[in-house]
Chain A
Amino acid sequence: MNQKEIKELIEFLIEKDIAEFELERGDVKMRIKRGCYAAPVHEVQTVPASGAAAAPVVAAVPPRAPKPAAEENLHLVRSPIVGTYYESPTPGAPPFVKPGDVVEMGQVICIVEAMKLMNEIESDAAGEIVKMLVKNGQPIEYNQELFAVRVRA
């Protein structure tokens, strides 16, 4: 099962609102569990999981992001692409945004790079950046949460 199929499966589960799913096929064993706040978690055992958090690993389990407080109207900006997260346009330059900044819909808030393709990630909500959920230079999984935005009322 490749990344794309896993992606499609997850999307299917979200679409049908299925909370838990288990699959065993050959050497692939997968368990997907969807929670209220946590990102879809998937584990594929074809590649031994790595201990080092900073290392690039296929199908690494996205770290469970610190759960932002539920009472607020928080929106999570996710990455549409696998890659390395950059908080600024070039190393040493000031970051695109920092906590407390107010962003508009469509404003570029970071870059995720893979294979020398720099993907400008835009905020898909207008409001205040409350939390940055990943660190500069960190490898990012597909759909991983990057920012928590307090949506403007």
Chain B
Amino acid sequence: MVISGTKLAQELGTNRSEVWRLAQQLRGLGVDIVGRPATGYQLRTVPDLLLPDMVAPQVAGTIFSKHIHHYYRIGSTNAAGMEAAAAGAPEGSVFLAEEQLAGRGRGANQWQSARSAGIYCSVVLRPPWPPSDALIVSLAAGLAVQAAVREIDPRLEPDLKWPNDLLIKGKKFCGILTEMNAEATRVRHLVVGIGINVNQRSFPVDLQEIATSLRLESGTEWSRVELCAGLLKSLDREYRSLLEASGARQSILRRFEENSTMVRGKTVTVEDNGGLEGVTNGLDERGFLKLETSSGPRIVLSGTVRLKT
């Protein structure tokens, strides 16, 4: 559909040169607008940007619909979320970025955050729990991503790696890092940061063996807006059931075990704690990974778990 500059100007309550200026500005942001001489403007494709106006209507009715913040470029959405939460940002605040310059990972790891190829999303939660009860959110977030991906492409088989990495055919496409600020008996705020490789067509040589994207695995381009909305909806579902439903914790533990091939009967190594090795034996009631080692049963609290090859 081609719309004349005069009509656009009328509807916007401005003049034609201002319409031209706005169109230029939108083009600069990646919007595909064609200008047709003597006829008008045509919007060829809507850009797949994680703009609040695009995401919010799709997550109406969730705790995430009211306070979505979008950045074209940011240091880290988690850092922004923690800062805003400390300053009083309400529960359900969402921080989305097209590009992260210092995406946080566990320890010294960084998250590669190429521009508009992935989803870099942090959300603020304020559960009325003691801090030790909040650990379950780590597992719930992984399940939420897995569900959102499956909903869009049921052919993909995203696998959960404890505590919450997501892999396809052994390569990682999603990482989750949660940061918490708590008093001794009560959580003040939690910021759950989720990085998903969506439309990357390739990775640097040093990552090719361990990283992948949804596009590489499915062969098609994904709508990041659709996936982001799906993710927020399934996060909302998990979080609300934790707040409201009895048995939600047990459900998360059970579903995690059902949806992770690595959590039972696999020989793994744990990087931390001086290099532990053993056979996985499910999760304990807190969500920690149980391991049978040559020197008896152990519980893994943290650290990178790797399948032994």
Contacts and interface: CB of A to CB of B under 8 A. Distances in A.
B284 A118 contact: no
Given A114-B135, A118-B180, 4 more contacts: A55-B274, A80-B130, A115-B164, A120-B180
Q: Which of B106, B138, B295, B302 has the most CB of A within 10 A?
A: B302
B184 A78 contact: yes
Interface stretch (A46-54, A63-71, A127-135): A46-54
A102 interface: no
B177 A116 contact: yes
Nearest to B300: A56
A61 interface: no
Interface string A86-103: 000011100000000000
A82 interface: yes
A117 interface: yes
Main DSSP-derived SS at the A contact region:
loop
B139 interface: yes
A115 B132 contact: no
For the complex of A and B, the 9 pairs showing the least CB-CB separation, nearest first, are A115-B163, A115-B138, A117-B178, A58-B299, A80-B131, A119-B180, A84-B302, A80-B184, A114-B301
Interface residues of B, number: 43
Interface residues of A, number: 36
Contact of B273 (A47, A117, A120, A139): A139
Contacts, number: 115
B131 A119 contact: yes
Interface string B285-298: 11110000001111
Q: Which of A2, A113, A116 has the most CB of B within 10 A?
A: A116
A118 B131 contact: no
A116 B299 contact: no
B19 interface: no
Nearest to B164: A116
B222 to A, nearest CB: 25
B214 interface: no
Interface in B265-291: 272-274, 276, 284-288
B137 interface: yes
Contacts of B164: 115-116
A45 interface: no
B220 interface: no
A105 to B, nearest CB: 11
Contacts of A115: 135, 138-139, 162-164, 287-288, 301-302
A116 B138 contact: yes
Contacts of A80: 130-132, 182-185
Given A47-B297, A55-B276, A56-B301, A116 B163 contact: yes
Interface string A12-46: 00000000000000000000000000000000000
